Amino acid sequence: MTEKIKNSRLSFGYWFKLFLIVAFPLHVWGLLMIFRDIEFITERTNLWDAFGYSGYSLLFILVESILLSVIVWALSLLLPKGWGESRMLAVTGSLFSILAGASIVDMAFHAFSEVRISKQYLYGLKNFTATTYALISAAVIAAMVISLLLILKTNKGEKVFTEIFERVSMLGYLYLFLDAAGIAIVILRNLSEKY
């Protein structure tokens, strides 16, 4: 049985499931930023350059997703050997998603003008940086602990997370399709002689 789990951890299928979970937040944020930039680029150059920019960015996000999923997969090997695949995915997926979510919230805080107003307000507060980052860190750690408790202490918790990640993985296939289109654009642009 242990041998079977071990094999399952080392299998391509397990890594690929992890990859789809990891790719989700990275693509959501990346696509949001790409759409945000498309108008800027089209206005200054042309639509083909905007596609080119999207292609490179998607390729970049794909590479990032692969790298991070390998790292998460390697770290997941450190988890107790007795855990089943769904628990492993629920734990690693939830911890990664919380970290990604925190990183995205931090970036959104700087990226969007609506949030900038509150940023200016916050910057006016004494000890803004230390206080804010202490609060964010506390919130992230709390979210991680809560999700771990839910997964490890309740069967329902593990099931909920597993089902969420299954649905997320379905979207992952759509992102892979977009990534493939991005790669095709990059190849096309680099095959054509510009100069």
Q: Which residues bind other proteins (CB under 8 A)?
A: 25-26, 29-30, 33-34, 37, 41, 44-46, 49, 52-53, 56-57, 60-61, 64, 67-68, 100, 103-104, 106-111, 186, 189-195
Minimum gap (Å) between residue 45 Cβ and other proteins: 4
Least distance (Å) from other proteins to the CB of residue 193?
7
Amino acid 32 reads L
Of 3 and 193, nearer to other proteins (C-beta) is 193
Nearer to other proteins, 90 or 186 (CB): 186
CB of 64 to other proteins, least distance (A): 5
CB atoms within 10 A of CB 137: 11
Q: Which of residues 8 and 45 has its CB atom nearest to other proteins in the complex?
A: 45
DSSP run (H or E) holding 184: helix 155-191
Rounded least distance, CB 134 to other proteins, Å? 18
Question: What Rg do the C-alpha atoms of the chain give, in angstroms?
Answer: 20
In the complex, minimum distance from the CB of residue 183 to other proteins, in angstroms, rounded to a whole number? 13
Closest to other proteins by CB, 41 or 151: 41
Q: Is the dihedral of CA 82, 86, 87, 93 positive or negative?
A: positive
Measured distance CA(172)–CA(55) in Å, rounded: 17
10 vs 71, beta carbon nearer other proteins? 71
What's the CA gap between 165 and 163, in Å, rounded?
Answer: 5
Residue 1 tokens, joined? 């049985």
Quickly tell me which residue has 């750690």 as its tokens: 141
